[in-house]
Amino acid sequence: MASHVVGYPRIAPKRELKFALESFWDGKSSAAELQNVAKDLRVATWKQMADAGLTYIPSNTFSYYDQVLDTTAMVGAVPPRYGWTGGEIGFDTYFSMARGNAKLPAMEMTKWFDTNYHYIVPELGPEIKFKYSSHKAVDEYKEAKKIGIETVPVIIGPVSYLLLSKPAKGVPKTFDLLSLLDAILPVYKEVLGELKQAGATWIQFDEPALVMDLEAHHLDAFSKAYSFLEEVLVGIKLLVETYFADIPVETYRTIIQLKAISAIGLDLIRGTKTLSLVKTVGFPGDKYLFAGVIDGRNIWANDLAASFSILKDLETIVGKGKIVVSTSCSLLHTAVDLVNETKLDNEIKSWLAFAAQKVLEVVALAKALIGQADQPYFAANAAAISSRKTSPRVNNEAVQKAAEALKGSDHRRATPVIARLDEQQKKLNLPILPTTTIGSFPQTVELRRVRREYKSNKISEADYIQSIQQEIAKVVKMQEDLDIDVLVHGEPERNDMVEYFGEQLQGFAFTVNGWVQSYGSRCVKPPVIYGDVSRPKPMTVFWSKYAQSLTARPMKGMLTGPVTILNWSFVRDDQPRSETSMQIALAIKEEVEDLEASGIQVIQIDEAALREGLPLRKAEQAHYLEWAVHGFRITNCGVKDTTQIHTHMCYSNFNDIIHSIIDMDADVITIENSRSDEKLLRVFQEGVKYGAGIGPGVYDIHSPRIPDTEEIADRIRKILAVLETNILWVNPDCGLKTRKYNEVVPALTNMVASAKLLRTELASAK
């Protein structure tokens, strides 16, 4: 019986790729040095999977930024503004598209389906000339083959690539991206031919768009694409991989009939109806089923006995020898290796499986299906599953009762937002177009050193507090010098917005090296929610109160909202996510009320990941939005009308949930706008009325590029064309922690200058 993983983490346990990328971007190392680090990581990963006994080892899943950008490079879809004139696409063009450069902004970045991973959105139009321009997939296949490892090259499929794209600037928004299918397919054919010539026997096309709500013309595009590729696929096997949800019935019927496809990968974890679909509709006898029974998006040990039962059930439908045991999706979304966790509680550690352990689970199940079960391994797994179910540390009766008591109320603030804003303005006395930032300021090397030394007991608590307070004082003075209206303390005590809160909440556990890639060199270390959640004591009040004491200007208290904590954690899977979210909401509510009592007049509760958690299928979205929005309202339903509640969202498509955002009933929302070509504004152009304060981001913080005053002012003018002056705020797209001070200070200087320029223009127009 064969085994397979959809993809594997590329950052390595201790973020070696992150540091190599940042060194290259800073000009401290060469392209060759970066390539050598990347090659060493690839080779080590392939060898690890081969040593584990994995049958089908993926290649071309390693990326310097993201796999969609890799595909953009492969097909030569470089926007003209980057000045690429042909030939193999190199780092200069590749990273300019991803990050921008001194003269040009980056391409739009958005979330990869309903995950915290991001991708660079391709920009396409009728004039695009696709051309095979990056041989990365073939080069990495040959690289693995050279060391004696046969791999399965992984490529984003042609239809999903087009559906994940957007019309380029100047192209009508109604442009049919699938009209480019005829133009792009010859490039895919060329890539397949080259892989075939290099000796590849299996190739994997990821087509995650197959789990979406597709129309007939979408399905026709899949049929057309794979019929076109049928000839070049003679002699090699093509796996079409899907993940993150069930495949709709009509889509499933279409795909299983395609002759070019030798195997179909199905997510049996999030695809909760997939098993019954296969049973009802059947499965073609000429194809393999890659059964995704190991969760690629969470870190809990698989219940091997339950998975084995599912596989045996499938075997009766598909046939012996036709099932390949696999992960539900790429392991990119999990941490790398549990072996590196030396500080985790032993009981909790026994409940977990990171990417390396999931490979072993896949192989163990494959062997069990042919009668070669590792009985001690299965017994240890059964003991861990039982331990987790019965452990007293998982359940807290008081928390469960408090969450249950929430039912029956919608937890809205009693006074409408327009009236609240009037009361808040009387107290805050802000100018029109008030300026603020999103929360974090640059995380310097010195600041990271202080936190690291405090955690390892190398400096005292008193020394740590003094260092953090000095950093807060520096950031406060800097904002006052810049003449920003509503200040932040810069979050110097936090390495990560979710990890920081999780460390202070009960029901959470933490890793040392449980890093997961978010995009490029950006890595996060999600906490593990293993039990019921509660707040033992205040978490931010000390720092916010100190920061407010340094200034007469309003100081924002900075919190992370319940849905974002949920979506950016590894969440327990033994109860509905909505129940865990409500528990977190109660904990944040306590913190909000303590901040208010300590004199903080503006409190920001970030829900950056609200859109991210939206189910992919429309039929499931209303239920999610109902409990997610309700959870946010719970956090601040008890504050006074004069306390201003902000929230922040970033790097997703928010237009389709704008009414739910309004229903959150925040006083002010700051939201990413500049990098997405201001598509957020279209929802207001189309007539949606928004009465609360709103700050569409006026510059992109994920690029080192510094916009000038006039550029920012022009963006504000565009915003004022669709939003009322009295509700508009001026702020960056997101927090500033990933930037350097020599980028932040001039960018904020220009932002404030642009706000003042517009105030003058508006006053003159009266």
Mean confidence (pLDDT) of the chain? 94
Cα–Cα dist 334/59, whole Å? 18
Catalytic residue among 4, 118, 489, 702: 702
Mean pLDDT of 470-490: 98
Cα–Cα dist 765/517, whole Å? 48
Which one is predicted more confidently, 563 or 691? Answer: 563
Q: Is 637 labeled as ligand-binding?
A: no
Asked if the model's pLDDT at residue 370 lies above 70, the reply is: yes
Cα–Cα dist 660/624, whole Å? 11
Residue type (1 letter), 474? K
Q: Is 522 labeled as ligand-binding?
A: yes
Mean pLDDT of 52-72: 97
Q: Is 63 labeled as ligand-binding?
A: no
Asked if the model's pLDDT at residue 716 lies above 90, the reply is: yes
Q: Is 129 labeled as ligand-binding?
A: no
**Residues near 487 by Cβ (< 8 Å), separated by ≥ 6?**
436, 476, 479, 480, 547, 551, 553, 554, 555, 556
Examine the residue annotation and report whether 630 is marked as an active-site residue of this protein.
no
pLDDT band at 677 (very low <50, low <70, confident <90, very high): low
Q: What is the pLDDT of residues 432-473, one digit of tens each?
A: 999 999 999 999 999 999 999 998 999 999 999 999 999 999
- For residue 743, CA distances in Å to 146, 476, 495, 670, 750 come to 44, 17, 20, 21, 11
Of residues 476, 495, 477, the one with CA closest to residue 547: 476
- The answer to whether 340 and 299 have CB atoms below 8 angstroms apart is no
Cα–Cα dist 286/624, whole Å? 39
- 3-state secondary structure string, 464-506? HHHHHHHHHHHHHHHHHHHCCCEECCECCCCCCHHHHHHCCCE
- The answer to whether 220 and 176 have CB atoms below 8 angstroms apart is no
Residue 566 class from Cβ within 10 Å (0-12 exposed, 13-18 middle, 19+ buried)? buried
Q: Is 220 labeled as ligand-binding?
A: no
Output the pLDDT for position 765: 84
pLDDT band at 652 (very low <50, low <70, confident <90, very high): low
Q: Is 256 labeled as ligand-binding?
A: no
pLDDT band at 428 (very low <50, low <70, confident <90, very high): very high
Output the pLDDT for position 619: 93
**Domains in the chain: ranges and CATH:** 2-77+108-390 (3.20.20.210), 415-504+539-672+688-697+725-732 (3.20.20.210)
pLDDT band at 731 (very low <50, low <70, confident <90, very high): very high
Q: pTM of the entire structure? A: 0.92
Mean pLDDT of 285-295: 97
- The answer to whether 613 and 628 have CB atoms below 8 angstroms apart is yes
Structure tokens at 278: 């296969």
Q: Is 116 labeled as ligand-binding?
A: yes
End-to-end CA distance of the chain: 77
- The answer to whether 211 and 236 have CB atoms below 8 angstroms apart is no
Helix (H, G, I), strand (E, B) or coil at 654: coil
Helix (H, G, I), strand (E, B) or coil at 83: coil
* Long-range own/partner contacts, residues 386-389 (CB < 8 A, 24 or more apart): 387/347, 387/350, 387/351, 388/300, 388/351, 388/530, 388/574, 389/574
Mean pLDDT of 607-631: 94
Asked if the model's pLDDT at residue 15 lies above 90, the reply is: no
pLDDT band at 263 (very low <50, low <70, confident <90, very high): very high
Cα–Cα dist 703/732, whole Å? 12
Cα–Cα dist 581/565, whole Å? 8
Which range (1-5, 78-82, 118-122) has the least confidence?
1-5
Q: Is 264 labeled as ligand-binding?
A: no
Helix (H, G, I), strand (E, B) or coil at 739: coil
Asked if the model's pLDDT at residue 649 lies above 70, the reply is: yes
Asked if the model's pLDDT at residue 257 lies above 70, the reply is: yes
Structure tokens at 286: 């000429």
- Please give the full DSSP string across 130-198, using - where no structure is assigned: ------HHHHHHHHHHHTT--EEEEEE-HHHHHHT-EEPTTS-TT--GGGGHHHHHHHHHHHHHHHHHH
- Please give the full DSSP string across 415-447, using - where no structure is assigned: S-HHHHHHHHHHHH-PPSS-BB--SB----HHH
- The answer to whether 636 and 413 have CB atoms below 8 angstroms apart is yes
Structure tokens at 98: 């991803």
**Residues near 309 by Cβ (< 8 Å), separated by ≥ 6?**
none
Output the pLDDT for position 678: 65
Of residues 496, 516, 528, 512, the one with CA closest to residue 608: 496
Q: Name 603's bridge partners.
A: 557, 645
Mean pLDDT of 89-96: 97
Q: Is 270 labeled as ligand-binding?
A: no
Q: Is 606 labeled as ligand-binding?
A: yes
In the block, tokens 């390539």 appear at 35
Mean pLDDT of 306-333: 96
Mean pLDDT of 754-762: 97
Q: Is 374 labeled as ligand-binding?
A: no
pLDDT band at 550 (very low <50, low <70, confident <90, very high): very high
Which range (144-153, 473-482, 655-664) has the least confidence?
655-664
pLDDT band at 236 (very low <50, low <70, confident <90, very high): very high
Q: Is 568 labeled as ligand-binding?
A: yes
Mean pLDDT of 103-116: 91
In the block, tokens 């492969």 appear at 74
Of residues 435, 437, 476, 434, the one with CA closest to residue 736: 437
Asked if the model's pLDDT at residue 680 lies above 90, the reply is: no
Output the pLDDT for position 190: 98
Of residues 663, 716, 719, 651, the one with CA closest to residue 692: 663
Output the pLDDT for position 703: 84
Q: Name 613's bridge partners.
A: none
Helix (H, G, I), strand (E, B) or coil at 290: strand
Output the pLDDT for position 650: 78
Output the pLDDT for position 674: 76
Mean pLDDT of 61-70: 95
Output the pLDDT for position 516: 93
Asked if the model's pLDDT at residue 651 lies above 90, the reply is: no
Cα–Cα dist 509/503, whole Å? 7
Q: Which strand (E) or helix (H) includes residue 202?
A: strand 202-206
